[in-house]
Chain A
């Protein structure tokens, strides 16, 4: 199996505080990787570096075997990596359509928007995902939607571009049980379609259920990388995490 993305010895610090210490991880084609760690372990920093929001201070970013310099969010999206951010990265005053196509608009020549096509595609997408009620119009502002519906918009955006890797940063936070189940169904569907998922969760049972492989992070370092068959259950995974914390 070949890696879609590989981070080699990536470090990142913010004003003297080291958030990542020589972290090396990779995501292969078609696998679901669960990233776990306590609060402050560096999960968010690792993810934001992986998807280009933070530029790494040191280390390499390798996309399908080729190192990429000046890594940024735009390059990550071009490389087929889409992210559902923890804060959902939406613009509440803008329409659902504009949010779905944010940063990757469908354009004519000279940069004018293919508006009708965008509206048609957005309507199709929100129906497919089924997060939103059938009455919702793709041209209404995101600010009028509920938390679950907003998550639906963020997910719609991630799948529209046929991403090869979808990063989900704590995607079930503040969602109802039914909405949470929808997120899991979504991850299953992505996996079945042969694409990869990097899943960050605070709920170890959730992460255990859907992942094929686990990366355990602690105080900015990758302390374990385990396949599911090396772990007996969520409790065992929890123990690995706790041991890592106490060893440090």
Chain B
């Protein structure tokens, strides 16, 4: 075997999960292209997908950290709404929008830390604890807002609107911000001691503790990152829609989680891929419009969404076995 072949094999071996996700994304796009060539060639369709795709990205990328750390969080879909609510309230109170955004993001990080502390110090299953938090926070939002939405059309006149969700070269600004966030997260995940400790804790928490890694802190900070991402997503969603509403973000719960797993991050912890998650988000974002574009009636949408998810996860079994 030549060394070139070896390098190639190594490349496949180390990036199998990410390449797999890329594969599903390409297959999905091909199916849609063949099924509905005219619709899929329309730039409008892609533009509309790219308006909300970055919002999903802000949620999914931090979830890769948390799932790699061996935990799960469902509460992010409500943290999304809570941080956006805080942002909207402060904005309505007349605070500077930049300050509103910073406080909103901070609130998400704080909720994440609390969530992490609940799991770590309360010794709770993260699935169950975050399920409770999901409803608790959402319930609080309904009560606090009296189920009323808040709109803020005036934000479109502020410079921050153009910087965050305006357009540059015909592409929504949120796409650039999400790309920046993803690249930063990639380096944090693969090249920074924070990301590396997340891998160790998710792989074998006892070994990590024996080697002097502060396992509790690593777990809590992973929850914090998820909260921060959810807050970013919530605030961007508010800016895009000029509105906060009580159920905002709730619909992303299962789609965002599906994107993590379609993206090639397995449920058992210790391994994962940021690049794969990007394609996972791509699959999720196009799945819904594609199925409708192919002329299926809306009744079939969930059926095909489910089929796509199952096939993708089955596929990952073939190129990402677990080593023990």
Contact = CB atoms under 8 A, between A and B. Distances in A.
Interface string A90-109: 11111000100011110100
A89 B193 contact: no
B41 interface: no
Contacts of B324: 92, 143
A113 interface: yes
A92 B193 contact: no
Contacts, number: 89
Given A73-B212, A102-B207, A103-B208, A91 B192 contact: no
A161 B210 CA distance: 16
Given A111-B192, A112-B192, A93 B323 contact: yes
B203 interface: yes
A45 interface: no
B200 A94 contact: yes
Nearest to A115: B191
Interface in B206-245: 206-214
Given A94-B200, A113-B193, A141-B323, A103 B211 contact: yes
A83 B270 CA distance: 23
A113 B196 contact: yes
Contacts of A107: 193
A68 interface: no
A138 B45 CA distance: 46
A94 B200 CA distance: 7
Contacts of B213: 74, 102-103
Nearest to A102: B211
Nearest to B200: A91
B271 interface: yes
B65 to A, nearest CB: 15
Given A92-B204, A115-B191, A98 B210 contact: no
Contacts of B196: 98, 105, 113
Contact of A90 (B192, B204, B271, B322): B204
A83 B323 contact: no
Contacts of A87: 206-207
Interface in B162-196: 187, 191-194, 196
Interface in A126-163: 137, 139, 141-144
B199 interface: yes
A105 B204 contact: no
Given A85-B210, A98-B199, A103-B213, A93 B322 contact: yes
A171 interface: no
Contact of A93 (B208, B210, B270): B270
A182 to B, nearest CB: 22
Contacts of B14: 139
A73 B194 contact: no
A103 B192 contact: no
A1 B208 CA distance: 34
Interface string A65-88: 000000011111100000101011
Q: Which of under 10, 10 to 19, 20 to 34, or 35 or more describes the interface residues of A? A: 35 or more
A74 B214 contact: yes
A11 to B, nearest CB: 21
Interface string A49-66: 001110000000000000
A73 B194 CA distance: 18
The listed residue with most B CB atoms (<10 A of its CB), out of A83, A85, A98, A102, is A102
Given A72-B212, A73-B210, A91-B208, A102 B192 contact: no
A94 B199 contact: yes
Contacts of B194: 111
Nearest to A105: B193
Contacts of A77: 211-212
Contacts of A98: 196, 199-200
Given A77-B212, A91-B203, A102-B211, A111 B270 contact: no
Nearest to B207: A89
Interface in A12-65: 51-53
B269 to A, nearest CB: 9
Interface of B: 10, 14, 187, 191-194, 196-197, 199-200, 203-204, 206-214, 270-271, 322-324
Given A98-B200, A112-B187, 18 more contacts: A53-B209, A72-B212, A73-B211, A89-B210, A91-B204, A91-B207, A92-B204, A92-B323, A93-B203, A93-B270, A94-B203, A98-B196, A98-B199, A102-B211, A102-B213, A110-B192, A112-B193, A144-B323
9 contacts: A74-B212, A77-B212, A85-B210, A87-B207, A88-B207, A91-B208, A98-B200, A103-B212, A103-B213
